[in-house]
Amino acid sequence: MTAIADEVRRRRTFAIISHPDAGKTTLTEKLLLYGGAIHLAGSVKARRAARHATSDWMQMEQERGISVTSSVLQFEYLGRAVNLLDTPGHADFSEDTYRTLIAADSAVMLLDNRKGVEERTRQLFEVCHRRRTPIFTFVNKCDRPGADPLQLLDDVERDLGLKCYPVTWPITSGDRFVGVYNRDTRRIHLFEKGEDHGSSRVETDVVTLDDPDVHERIGDSAYEQLMNDVELLDMAGEEFSPEAFLRGEVSPTFFGSALTNFGVEPFLAKFLELAPSPTSREASTGTVEPEDPHFTGFVFKIQANMDPKHRDRIAFVRVCSGHFEAGMQVKHVRTGKAMRLAAPTQFLARERTHIEEAWPGDVIGIHDRGNLRIGDTLSANGDLEFAGIPRFSPQHFSRILIGDPMKRKQLDTGLQQLSEEGAAQVFYSETYAGTTPIVGAVGQLQFDVLLHRLEHEYGVKARLEPMSYRFARWVLGPEADIRALSGGHGRTLVYDAKEAPLVLFDSEWTLRTTTEREKTLTFHDVAP
């Protein structure tokens, strides 16, 4: 086996999808804890004594207790090299999540045991489903009473069209969570709540289903309920199909409690066994296999000012094929220019480590001076180009104003860099950046983050003047016909950072009547 094939086989690159408050950040912390990447869940190297989630490195995330930007968390466990692509939990940052899911080879769908499938989960599942991404399911918060597990899995299949194959099963006695039963090993992992609120690994007491003491250990009622559930699951008669799983049709399902660490370790071990290694990617020249000896990769995220002291700008590159080596020269396909990839790094959220090499499935950080864009392909194999990452139309719009005109240059710099990393989209009423900027966002919280970062990273204190527009469409067609749209009631013409024209609409009615009437123009909710 070649070195590339061996390294590909070891790698697992995945993301976690969930509705807000389902416990995604907590599960991420516990995977790091059991993977040995951190020794105390929730801890970061910080000047303050307060503990924050490792993946939430931005000051605003720590202050509000929410995840608003993607991060990469890389660690080794059981001989596997794991790349966990952490995504924002808040729906207002869905674009960042969509981009990250494109870089992942599999996903973990996290469900609240009381609520099952929620709207945000449904949206993110659809993104995975369209790409046939293999999905694991982890039912969280089992340390508290929840919905009947059989009903919950039935709801998942009915709602998402995804069959769930339970690998572990919850054991309860009344409202008390007793443990989980592993169907593969026929072992019962007994739940014991730790004294440190889940900050450290918990030692699990394990007994077999045939153990003569099992009745006493879990209680007669819990044992009887478990045996009934196991019989029902076995009667269903469905064997787990690895092929159906890899097609995104069947989801290995686990139960546990990320907060108390329970069920996390069995899940992680089975995940590493079942999750796919890096897979092939479609490019303009055909299929690119990860074992191809030539390095290729694409930029799925850009983050400015991860280190505020140095005002740096990092491009996150997913390695798709070949062996990456520090200092190697590649082609920046969009511009046709050669680039030397010096001083690459790997990540544990904000912490970075210099590396000398990387392999397919890995995510590397490249220092960028403003040349790279989201979706760019880097190639040591000619002009092949991976499909671009889409830009979606915003739903909220505001003019951005500053009190000090002398800060206009800093404002333009900040807006340019933050829009290039996907924090918001910037538009102008003319094709040059001299007029008052208009910012667009999927959700209002994006505006809060934008203002916070402009002030703390660029020294610009700005305010927003909300606009009444609610829909945006990129428009293609004769220039004269496009310009004629700017004078209509309830709409206005703007240009994005690439000088592509868009029309903003104040209502669904205005959007519909305009698009139906204009025969020479085409309208797109994703940037063409």
Q: Which is more confidently placed, 262 or 420?
A: 262
Q: Which is more confidently placed, 70 or 289?
A: 289
What residues have CB less than 8 Å from 319, skipping those under 6 apart? 295, 296, 297, 358, 359, 360, 361, 362, 363, 364
H or E element: which one contains 138? strand 135-140
| Best mean pLDDT range from 53-57, 202-206, 254-258 | 254-258
Match 């207790």 to its residue by tokens: 65
* Mean pLDDT along residues 283-300: 94
Residue 20: per-residue pLDDT: 78
Tokens of 425: 């989209």
First to last CA, the chain: 42
What residues have CB less than 8 Å from 154, skipping those under 6 apart? none
- The percent of residues in the chain predicted with pLDDT above 90, rounded, is 44
* Mean pLDDT along residues 358-375: 90
Tokens of 257: 């409690």
* Mean pLDDT along residues 482-503: 88
pLDDT tier at 395, thresholds 50, 70, 90? confident
Q: Are 11 and 83 in contact (CB under 8 A)?
A: yes
Angular region, 305: left φ>0, alpha ψ -120 to 50, beta rest: left
- What would the pLDDT profile of 298-307 be if each residue is shown by its tens digit? 999 887 766 5
Residue 418: per-residue pLDDT: 82
Q: Are 312 and 370 in contact (CB under 8 A)?
A: no
CATH 3.40.50.300 fits 281-379, yes or no: yes
The region of weakest confidence among 293-297, 361-365, 383-387, 434-438 is 434-438
Please determine, for residue 75, whether its predicted confidence score (pLDDT) is greater than 80. yes
Please determine, for residue 6, whether its predicted confidence score (pLDDT) is greater than 70. yes
What residues have CB less than 8 Å from 226, skipping those under 6 apart? 169, 171, 181, 188, 218
Q: What is the DSSP string of 362-408?
A: -EEEEE-SS---TT-EEESSTT--BPPPP-BPPSEEEEEEES-GGGH
* Mean pLDDT along residues 380-394: 83
Q: Which is more confidently placed, 96 or 317?
A: 317
Residue 312: per-residue pLDDT: 73
The burial class, CB within 10 Å (0-12 / 13-18 / 19+), for 249 is middle
Residue 49: per-residue pLDDT: 36
Residue 50: per-residue pLDDT: 39
The one-letter code for the residue type at 113 is N
Q: CA nearest 310: which of 363, 341, 352?
A: 352
Where in the chain is CATH 3.30.70.3280? 396-524
Residue 211: per-residue pLDDT: 80
Please determine, for residue 525, whether its predicted confidence score (pLDDT) is greater than 70. yes
DSSP conformational letter for 116: B
Residue 181: per-residue pLDDT: 92
* Mean pLDDT along residues 289-311: 81
What residues have CB less than 8 Å from 62, skipping those under 6 apart? 46, 50, 52, 53, 56
Residue 275: per-residue pLDDT: 96
- What would the pLDDT profile of 80-108 be if each residue is shown by its tens digit? 999 998 776 555 456 677 788 889 999 99
CATH architecture classification, 14-69+106-274: 3-Layer(aba) Sandwich (3.40)
Residue 61: per-residue pLDDT: 45
Residue 456: per-residue pLDDT: 86
pLDDT tier at 140, thresholds 50, 70, 90? very high
pLDDT tier at 182, thresholds 50, 70, 90? very high
pLDDT tier at 309, thresholds 50, 70, 90? low
Q: Which is more confidently placed, 348 or 441?
A: 441
Q: What is the DSSP string of 222-266?
A: HHHHHHHHHHHHHHH-PPP-HHHHHTTSEEEEEE-BTTTTBTHHH
Residue 332: per-residue pLDDT: 96
Tokens of 26: 């907590």
pLDDT tier at 237, thresholds 50, 70, 90? low
Where in the chain is CATH 3.40.50.300? 14-69+106-274, 281-379
pLDDT tier at 139, thresholds 50, 70, 90? very high
The region of weakest confidence among 43-52, 182-191, 259-268, 428-437 is 43-52
With the C-alpha atoms ordered 343, 338, 7, 167, is the resulting torsion angle positive or negative?
positive
Helix axes 408-420, 444-458, angle to 10 degrees: 130
Residue 60: per-residue pLDDT: 47
Residue 38: per-residue pLDDT: 58
Rounded distance between C-alpha atoms, residue 507 and residue 501, angstroms? 19
The burial class, CB within 10 Å (0-12 / 13-18 / 19+), for 19 is buried
pLDDT tier at 51, thresholds 50, 70, 90? very low
Residue 64: per-residue pLDDT: 45
Q: What is the DSSP string of 43-67?
A: ----SSSS---TT--SHHHHHHT--
Q: Are 441 and 425 in contact (CB under 8 A)?
A: yes
Residue 89: per-residue pLDDT: 52
What SS3 state is found at 332?
strand
CA 66 to chain centre: 14
The one-letter code for the residue type at 12 is R
Residue 57: per-residue pLDDT: 40
Tokens of 71: 């991060």
Please determine, for residue 46, whether its predicted confidence score (pLDDT) is greater than 70. no
- What would the pLDDT profile of 407-448 be if each residue is shown by its tens digit? 999 999 889 888 877 778 899 987 555 678 999 987 777 888
Residue 37: per-residue pLDDT: 64
- The CATH superfamily label for domain 396-524 reads Peptide chain release factor 3, domain III (3.30.70.3280)
Match 């995330």 to its residue by tokens: 61
Mean pLDDT, the chain, as a whole number? 84
Q: What is the DSSP string of 56-105?
A: --SHHHHHHT---S-EEEEEEETTEEEEEEE---SGGGHHHHHHHHHH-S
Rounded distance between C-alpha atoms, residue 336 and residue 313, angstroms? 21
pLDDT tier at 260, thresholds 50, 70, 90? confident
Residue 55: per-residue pLDDT: 45
Residue 167: per-residue pLDDT: 95
Enumerate long-range contacts of 364-369, CB under 8 Å, 24 or more apart.
364/297, 364/316, 364/317, 364/319, 364/324, 365/314, 365/315, 365/316, 365/317, 366/314, 366/315, 366/317, 366/341, 367/312, 367/313, 367/314, 367/342, 367/343, 368/302, 368/313, 368/314, 368/315, 369/313
Please determine, for residue 403, whether its predicted confidence score (pLDDT) is greater than 50. yes
